[in-house]
Amino acid sequence: MSKISPSQINDLIKNRRSVFPATYIDKPIPKEIIQQVLENANWAPTHKLTEPWRFKVFSGDATEQLGKMLSEVYKTHTPAEKFKEMKYNKTQRKSKKSGAIIAICMQRDPKESIPEWEEIAAVGCAVQNMYLTCEAYEVGCYWSSPSYINFLNEPLGLKDGERCLGFFFMGYYEVERSEGMRRPIAEKVTWVE
């Protein structure tokens, strides 16, 4: 088994960026890469092994169909005075440009053996694994949670206890990415010795 050096993992984490669908190019993502992204998500930390992450993968023509469905849900559940035609159209465009879209869902432990926030955090860890895997394969990606997310369970065909936490858009890109910016960690840490 090969060992990843600390500098390799540090670079992978620091170089990870969200890459948005507007910059995606028309190049299919091999199913094997999508499968590896999901396999790595499956190895996220999970308290009491509840493994709450659930995923629905949309690829090919299904990405465009998903975009149409999301636009319609947005239109249906947005008051007329807040509805924006630009947002309606953008939702369809970004879905159509994506090589794959993964609905990020959470299955609540039926026994409620741990607090819900821990299961949401586990799904967040799974998504971080997805981000890092995409970075390693040079596939752009980002996690988006639309304002109308609470109205997506039925259109997505989710089971009892499942809920959608957002969408993971993926696509190859040919743009230069910006440097990452973070304030120093010293501003966010208190040492107790």
The answer on pLDDT for 129 being more than 70 is yes
List pLDDT tens digits, range 71-123: 999 999 999 999 999 999 999 999 999 999 999 999 999 999 999 999 999 99
- pLDDT for the residue numbered 22: 93
* Other CB atoms within 10 Å distance of the CB of residue 61: 9
**Range in 2-6, 64-68, 158-162 the model is least confident about:** 2-6
Residue 121 tokens, joined: 């955090």
Q: Is 2 left (phi over 0), alpha (psi -120 to 50) or beta?
A: beta
Question: Which structural domains are found in the chain, ordered by start?
Answer: 12-188 (3.40.109.10)
Residue 137 tokens, joined: 């394969």
Q: Are 146 and 74 in contact (CB under 8 A)?
A: yes
Provide, for the chain, the percentages of residues in helix, strand and coil under a 3-state DSSP scheme, each rounded to the nearest 5. Answer: 45, 15, 40
List pLDDT tens digits, range 165-179: 999 999 999 988 888
List pLDDT tens digits, range 26-83: 999 999 999 999 999 999 999 999 999 999 999 999 999 999 999 999 999 999 999 9
C-alpha to C-alpha distance for 12 and 175, rounded to whole angstroms: 18
Question: In which band, very low, low, confident or very high, does the pLDDT at 16 lie, cut at 50, 70 and 90?
Answer: very high
C-alpha to C-alpha distance for 64 and 7, rounded to whole angstroms: 39
17 contacts: CB under 8 Å, gap ≥ 6 = 135, 177, 178, 180
Percent residues over pLDDT 70 in the chain:
99
Q: What are phi and psi of 77, to 5 degrees?
A: -105, 15
- pLDDT for the residue numbered 178: 81
